Structure 1
Amino acid sequence: MKAGPTVILPIIITIVGLIFGLKLAKAFRSGLTIGIGFAGIILVIDMMKSNLGPASKAMVENFGIKLDILDVGWGAIAAVTWGSPIIAILIFCILATNIVMLVLKATDTLDVDIWNYHHMAIVGIMVYFVTKNVGLSIAATVVMAIITFKLSDWTAPLVEDFFGIPGVSIPTMSALSSVVIAAPLNWLLDKIPGINKIDFKVKDAQKYLGFFGEPMILGLILGSIIGVLAKYPVSKILSLGVSMAAVMVLIPKMTSLFMEGLMPISEAAQKFTQKKFKGRKFLIGLDAAVVVGNEDVITTALILTPLTILIAAILPGNRVLPFADLAVITFRVALVVAIARGNLFKSIIIGGVCMAAVLLAGTVTAPVLTQLATSTGLDLSTNGSLISSFAATSLTVSFLVYKAFISNLVISIPILVLVIGSVWVFMSKLSKKRASILATKETSQA
């Protein structure tokens, strides 16, 4: 039996705390508290999945959508990734890339979220399966790692400002990938007259709707609506509503426990870097689970769940049937919501575009993914159908890197460099702007 992230995370955080100069007892207490908070977040997310997942599947069946590529869920794809014969090589390459980038000051993110390395590794594994070239596989994985750590750096001001978690970045590609669509699309929406005046947030609902705008009541209402669309009996509709209300209340409490454990590490890291690295700021890279509990994120995800099914039904070229991963849309839209500053209107529009991109990329890569799963001994298809998920090379960034490395390299690599360079410039400017706003806010509060 392998130790899961709730066991590994406290150990890693304790070691990090010791490196930053904390005493063993305090470092261990911080690591354990963070582990407990993370375990609590996972338990609540699992509760949401176990309730929302079946309801989402029932909605798919009730809508009568007939698509021939089944979404089997990110967990199944992660199993395929960790079952690859070259996974050890790729994990080492990701870790080495992180260390080299830290030494060269090319990133500030110290990625302790080893589990989610699979998001970077699957691209290299897919490339290897198609090309049988280990060198290309490693190169693709390294490129994914570089992009992941840079996106983590650029979005760290959002994590601190919007989610209120300082000293942390999110090197989870399942959340980061949406940024390359969300950032420019949010910029574009801000330039459209009329559209740029619409700013409705969950807090506005609380203000204007009173009792009905409270997070737990919103969770109850949205959960019940999904239950109705799933054609549940009244008892199950109410049960789903209460479960979603519980999610809205419990995850923020678990996040506060997580923050309690993180603060000593963050303070020690700040003192350590000021002393040893002349004030250089290190960011602790953690799983996106630490931000998906935000009420704006959960509300957006609950609304997008039935909308994603509708998008799948009408999107030209799509063949993916949303299924298992409908329950984890929160991860796909968390940073979208942060970029939109909690604007529910923009979050839904941008989130819908991001999910459409996932569906189309999933359609294109399904044949290879299905063959790969079968080759590792995990035959997840039924009656010869193809499989996909909202992870792996269905993610926009992963898809672009994968396609670049299996295409004509003379053409594809320059295009990939151009695209990455454009995103690099755009996101760097945006990140500096966010960081400046955050610094001004902190100065005014001091």
Structure 2
Amino acid sequence: MQGFLDIVNNIFTPIIDMGSGVVMLIVMTVLAMAFGVKFSKALEGGIKLAIALTGIGAIINILTSAFSASLQSFVENTGISLNIIDVGWAPLATITWGSPYTLYFLLIMLLINIVMIIMKKTNTLDVDIFNIWHLSITGLLIMWYAERNNLPTILAVIIATLAIVLVGVLKIINSDLMKPTFDDLMGTGSHSPMTSTHMNYMLNPVIMIFDKIFDKFFPGLDKYDFDAAKLNKAIGFWGSKFFIGMILGFVIGIMGAPSFTRESISSWFAL
């Protein structure tokens, strides 16, 4: 197993060193061509995805550098030290795709999916290649924890692989189960090939159980519309991400100002 991983590393490490954008360009182009897309369209899709990933990384870097001075002052002024940053899914996906193990996990899940189809255990062909990072980050965290506890690398990889296969099979089966629901929501009928293996939808069966419970014991809740889109439309600009972002910028700027200290706050309240 270690020999196989060494071969994979030797092949893919030079490509991975060029960045996640290049990796996704190559992977998506090759996979699209494998599914019958002509080269020009496959390359176009790969380039667009690479541009998107590069843009996401650039924006995160800009925001981080723009806020770093104010946040540092905020820590000094308030004494609040927060050492964990919620970077969101985009940088996390970019980081995950920078690992050669992500391609290994992708290969494993492609093989598992094909075997399930041949054995008639699923009707779903998972072509959501990019979101393999959901499974990969799980495997990478397992490997990190295992190696941190002094387990051999080969054993860490085996444990991570078993976990990936288990969760991957469950999400494919869940995709089959959710197909009628997607048909109903999209209004396309059963002839539509659309479904989803996105990890978020693995919560749907649990949510549907709660929905049945609420229908049975709290039927009056259906009278109220908690649609977030309608609420934002009613509030208008004041509930938009632009206004919220502006307020957040003001708060960080004020709390990071030299005059904003614990002593000054105390004096304000004393007045």
Q: Which of the five TM-score ranges fits, normalised by the shorter chain?
A: 0.5 to 0.7
Task: Confirm whether residue 224 of structure 1 aligns to residue 256 of structure 2.
Answer: no
Task: Trace 1:415-434 onto structure 2 (pairs within 5 A).
Answer: none
Cα distance in 1 between the residues matched to 2:42 and 2:204: 33
* Cα deviation, residue 140, structure 1: 2.5
Q: 1:109 offset after TM fit, Å?
A: 0.9
Shift of 1:143: 0.9
Match of 2:33 in 1: 18
Whether contact under 8 Å (2:29, 2:42) holds in the other structure is yes
Question: Alpha carbons of 1:20 and 1:89: their partners in 2 closer, same or farther (altered >3 Å)?
Answer: closer
**C-alpha offsets along residues 165-213 of structure 1, whole Å, 9 cap, x if unaligned?**
x957454x5x45665765545555555344333323344245534x536
8 Å Cα contact 1:10-1:31 kept in structure 2 = yes
Tell me the distance in 1 between the aligned counterparts of 2:57 and 2:178: 23
Scaled by the length of structure 1, the TM-score of the pair is: 0.36
In the alignment, the residues of structure 2 paired with residue 62 and residue 185 of structure 1 have an alpha-carbon distance, to the nearest angstrom, of: 46
What is aligned with 2:263? none
Match of 1:98 among 110, 113, 117: 113
Deviation at 1:231, TM superposition (A): 4.7
Which is higher, the Rg of structure 1 or of structure 2? 2
Alpha carbons 1:6, 1:35 under 8 Å: kept: yes
Describe the superposition over 1:220-260 as per-residue Cα deviations: whole angstroms up to 9, x where unpaired.
Answer: 222234345x4532999xxxxxxxxxxxxxxxxxxxxxxxx
- Output the CA distance in 2 between the equivalents of 1:196 and 1:11: 48
Unaligned runs of 5+ in 2: 1-15, 187-192, 258-271
Aligned twin of 1:110: 127
* Contact 1:15–1:27 (Cα < 8 Å) also in 2: yes
Task: Find 1:122's aligned residue among 117, 124, 140.
Answer: 140
Aligned to 1:344: none
- Cα offset for 1:100? 2.5
Structure 2 match to 1:233:
254
Q: Deviations over 1:114-158 (max 9, x none)?
A: 544422313642674569456555422321222344445666776
Unaligned runs of 5+ in 1: 237-446
Q: CA-atom RMSD, angstroms?
A: 5.3
Structure 1 pair 19–141 and aligned structure 2 pair: CA distance change class (3 A): closer
SS in 2 for 1:232: helix
State the alpha-carbon separation in 1 of the partners of residues 194 and 71 from structure 2. 35
Aligned partners of 2:227, 2:57: CA distance in 1, in Å? 26
1:24-423 to structure 2, matched below 5 A, reads: 24-40=39-55, 43=58, 71=84, 93-105=108-120, 106=122, 107-113=124-130, 114-122=132-140, 124-125=142-143, 128-129=146-147, 132=151, 136-151=159-174, 169=196, 171=198, 173=199, 175=200, 182-185=207-210, 188-189=213-214, 192-205=218-231, 207-209=233-235, 211-212=236-237, 218-227=240-249, 230-233=251-254
CA distance in 2, matches of 1:180, 1:104: 24
| TM-score, length basis structure 2 | 0.53
Contact 1:6 1:38 survives alignment (8 Å) = yes
C-alpha separation between the residues in 2 aligned to 1:145 and 1:195? 35
CA deviation after TM superposition for structure 1 residue 112, in Å: 1.9
**Percent of matched pairs sharing the same residue:** 22
